[in-house]
């Protein structure tokens, strides 16, 4: 594992690896998405209580899982960045944040759309909903913090500290439905004693979750390549300015002599 991380520490080696891998992850994502949509919208039964509205869960639940998983990955990467100073860790954390924020927004909005006909309200300030909303704000804070500093290294360090501080929110999100009386229902899949939902509903959920996971992997690989190209361009641009500056200085010196 450490050999793999060392292998990826070189940006151009990582870029080549990402360039070769991302078409396959995109292909897997599309296959999973088509199968998941076919099961979710057509080949799964309506719920005995929620009726057809249960189909929203096949987008809402995987998006909520992804928002937590991406934040967990960002926390690990921030630790890598602060302790081991791994060059790739900052890059991957920066590229993960917009994808995580988008999944959190999808979870919040689809949950709200599901809540109106089921609970009778678009939004309640209960523990689960509020903690996920805070997660969304932390994601936005991370994106802002990375871009606000002129010095990229300082920005990445500040964002890594924010990510680590925000990680306290993850167990709150997960256990909020057990610790407090919430309108949001408790876990029905990731719980002790195994999942309590029917296999026909489990299958579309798993396929959609895999589609979202491969979406994250694909666009993380693409986004990180873009960042590497951007850094390289910046470096070349600064080098060219230096060369031109030196040429102008030399010419003016010759002229004065």
Partner 1 sequence: MSSHLIYIFSAYLFSFLVLMILGLKIYLTFCSYKNKNNNF
Secondary structure element (H or E) that encloses residue 203, with its range: helix 199-256
> Considering the rule CB under 8 A, would residue 21 count as an interface residue with partner 1?
no
> Considering the rule CB under 8 A, would residue 143 count as an interface residue with partner 1?
no
Collapsing DSSP to helix, strand or coil, 93 comes out as helix
Cβ-Cβ contacts under 8 Å for 74 (sequence gap 6 or more): 93, 96, 97, 100, 142, 163
Which one, 109 or 202, has the nearer CB to partner 1? 109
Collapsing DSSP to helix, strand or coil, 47 comes out as strand
> Considering the rule CB under 8 A, would residue 229 count as an interface residue with partner 1?
yes
Query: Tokens for 78?
Result: 């921030």
At closest approach, how far in Å is the CB of 81 from partner 1?
21
Collapsing DSSP to helix, strand or coil, 51 comes out as strand
At closest approach, how far in Å is the CB of 75 from partner 1?
21
Structural contact between residues 122 and 112, judged by C-beta atoms closer than 8 angstroms: yes
Structural contact between residues 219 and 23, judged by C-beta atoms closer than 8 angstroms: no
Query: Tokens for 21?
Result: 């891998």
> Considering the rule CB under 8 A, would residue 230 count as an interface residue with partner 1?
yes
Out of 13, 23, 52, 196, which residue is the one contacting partner 1 (CB under 8 A)?
A: 52
> Considering the rule CB under 8 A, would residue 53 count as an interface residue with partner 1?
yes
- Cα separation, 94 vs 135, whole angstroms: 16
> Considering the rule CB under 8 A, would residue 114 count as an interface residue with partner 1?
yes
At closest approach, how far in Å is the CB of 218 from partner 1?
8
Out of 60, 86, 94, 142, which residue is the one contacting partner 1 (CB under 8 A)?
A: 60
C-alpha 77, offset from chain centre: 12
Out of 84, 233, 241, 248, which residue is the one contacting partner 1 (CB under 8 A)?
A: 233
> Considering the rule CB under 8 A, would residue 83 count as an interface residue with partner 1?
no
Site size for partner 1 (CB under 8 A): 31
Query: Tokens for 170?
Result: 């993850």
Collapsing DSSP to helix, strand or coil, 185 comes out as coil
Which residues are 47's β-sheet partners? 51
Cβ-Cβ contacts under 8 Å for 221 (sequence gap 6 or more): 18, 21, 22, 25
> Considering the rule CB under 8 A, would residue 69 count as an interface residue with partner 1?
no
At closest approach, how far in Å is the CB of 197 from partner 1?
18
- Cα separation, 73 vs 55, whole angstroms: 28
At closest approach, how far in Å is the CB of 109 from partner 1?
6
- Kindly tell me the burial class for residue 33, based on how many C-beta atoms sit within 10 Å of its own C-beta (0-12, 13-18, 19 or more): middle
At closest approach, how far in Å is the CB of 155 from partner 1?
18
At closest approach, how far in Å is the CB of 195 from partner 1?
22
> Considering the rule CB under 8 A, would residue 222 count as an interface residue with partner 1?
yes
Residue ranges that bind partner 1, judged by CB under 8 A: 41, 51-53, 55-56, 59-60, 63, 98-99, 102, 105-106, 109-110, 113-114, 116-117, 215, 219, 222-223, 225-226, 229-230, 232-233, 236
């Amino acid at each position: 594992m450490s050999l793999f991380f060392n292998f990826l520490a070189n940006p151009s080696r990582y870029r080549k690896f990402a360039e070769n891998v991302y078409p396959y992850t995109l292909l897997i994502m599309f296959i999973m998405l088509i199968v998941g949509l076919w099961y979710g919208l057509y080949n799964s039964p309506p719920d005995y209580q929620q009726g057809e509205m249960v189909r929203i869960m096949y987008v809402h639940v995987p998006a909520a899982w992804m928002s937590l998983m991406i934040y967990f990955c960002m926390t690990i990467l921030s630790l890598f960045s602060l302790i081991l100073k791994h060059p790739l860790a900052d890059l991957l954390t920066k590229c993960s944040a917009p994808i995580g924020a988008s999944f959190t927004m999808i979870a919040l909005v689809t949950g709200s759309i599901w809540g109106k006909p089921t609970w009778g309200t678009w939004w309640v300030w209960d523990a689960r909903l509020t903690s996920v909303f805070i997660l969304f704000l932390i994601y936005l804070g991370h994106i802002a913090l990375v871009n606000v500093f002129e010095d990229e290294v300082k920005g990445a360090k500040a964002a890594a500290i924010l990510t680590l501080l925000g990680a306290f929110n993850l167990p709150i999100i997960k256990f909020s439905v057990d610790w407090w009386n919430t309108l949001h229902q408790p876990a029905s899949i990731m719980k002790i004693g195994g999942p309590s939902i029917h296999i026909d509903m489990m299958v579309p959920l798993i396929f959609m979750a895999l589609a979202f996971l491969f979406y994250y992997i694909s666009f993380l690989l693409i986004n990180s390549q873009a960042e590497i190209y951007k850094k390289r361009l910046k470096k070349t641009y600064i080098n060219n300015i230096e060369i031109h500056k030196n040429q102008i200085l030399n010419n003016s010196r010759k002229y004065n002599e």
